[in-house]
A = this chain, B = another copy of it.
Amino acid sequence: MGMADPRAFPTGLSVRRTIRRNVYSGPTAGLAPGFVQANLAILPQVLAQDFLQFCQRNPKPCPLIGVSAPGDPGIPALGEDLDIRTDLPRYRVWRDGAAVDEPEDIVRWWRDDLVTFAIGCSFSFEQALVENGIELRHVTCGCNVPMYRTSIATEPAGPFRGPLVVSMRPMKPADAIRAVQITTRFPAVHGAPIHLGKPELIGIADLAVPDYGDAVPVHDDEIPVFWACGVTPQSVVATARPEFCITHYPGAMLVTDRRNVEFAIM
């Protein structure tokens, strides 16, 4: 139930069908290499219009790659035979802003008014960075990427509002420039960085104290590079305290049938 052999999961479809059998509940990083993974937010229809508008007003932290019809557990654009109720390793169920369950499927929590939002994640551009020979420090350290709440406000929509959350990857300046070029090609999965250098300019007092994930060392010949992060919509949903919602469990993403390269604009 813990670690998985990536060779056993060559495609998004094979990942989902395996997870559906409840034989794997771990993190999805490294599974189905080359396939897009997505953050998940499932909300009652009464909130869906506001959340959709929030995503459209904040495309860098909330790049929507798929939205379901109300009550429909499928998202045909993202995968064949996809059932959002069973195909993620683990979920978090929220009531009035508090996590009330962390189940391996959400069949018993499903409602006919639920709308699923799939939001692009940094795994896609991280693959492109690694293929270009750029070190990802959190991968080297075997930990989660460090994430920080910033002093940059998102554009609100209805009850959804709050600070932009960013992920940080330390890089040598020449790699940072190359990383801007590489990630610019992927606007649907956060795109180019939103900041680099001086963290205090975006309200980050101490890089060693991330708000989410794990701290990583930043060497003297490196600068911190910050990307808008898919934790932003989760943070915003938590603040809005909807009467009900479901998200993925951290690290346990939706693995789709779309390929990362499909999302490259050049």
Nearest CB on B from A117, distance (A): 27
Find out whether the CB atom of B174 lies under 8 angstroms from the CB atom of A177. Answer: no
Instruction: Determine the main DSSP class of A at the interface with B.
Output: mixed
Which residues does chain B contribute within 8 Å of A195, judged by CB atoms?
173-174, 177
Nearest CB on B from A128, distance (A): 15
Query: Does A221 count as interface, using CB distance less than 8 angstroms?
Result: yes
Find out whether the CB atom of A196 lies under 8 angstroms from the CB atom of B173. Answer: yes
Query: Does A52 count as interface, using CB distance less than 8 angstroms?
Result: no
Find out whether the CB atom of B196 lies under 8 angstroms from the CB atom of A176. Answer: yes
Which residues does chain B contribute within 8 Å of A177, judged by CB atoms?
180, 192-196
Number of copies: 2
Interface residues of A in 182-196 (CB under 8 A from B): 184, 192-196
Which residues does chain B contribute within 8 Å of A266, judged by CB atoms?
266
Which residues does chain B contribute within 8 Å of A176, judged by CB atoms?
196-197
Query: Does A223 count as interface, using CB distance less than 8 angstroms?
Result: yes
A58 CA to B198 CA, complexed, in Å: 31
Nearest CB on B from A216, distance (A): 18
Closest to A226 in B: B173
Find out whether the CB atom of B181 lies under 8 angstroms from the CB atom of A198. Answer: no
A201 CA to B175 CA, complexed, in Å: 13
Which residues does chain B contribute within 8 Å of A172, judged by CB atoms?
201
- Given A197-B197, A197-B223, A223-B197, verify A181-B192 contact (CB < 8 Å): yes
Nearest CB on B from A183, distance (A): 10
Nearest CB on B from A168, distance (A): 13
Interface residues of A in 213-266 (CB under 8 A from B): 221, 223, 266
Interface residues of A in 145-193 (CB under 8 A from B): 172-174, 176-177, 180-181, 184, 192-193
Most buried by B among A172, A173, A192, A198: A173
In the A-B complex, the 7 residue pairs with the smallest Cβ-Cβ separation, listed nearest first, are: A180-B180, A197-B223, A197-B197, A173-B195, A173-B196, A181-B184, A173-B197
Question: CB within 8 Å of B: which residues of A?
Answer: 172-174, 176-177, 180-181, 184, 192-198, 201, 221, 223, 266
21 residue pairs bridging A and B, Cβ less than 8 Å apart: A172-B201, A173-B195, A173-B197, A173-B198, A173-B201, A174-B194, A174-B195, A176-B196, A176-B197, A177-B180, A177-B192, A177-B193, A177-B194, A177-B195, A180-B181, A180-B192, A181-B181, A196-B196, A196-B223, A198-B221, A201-B221
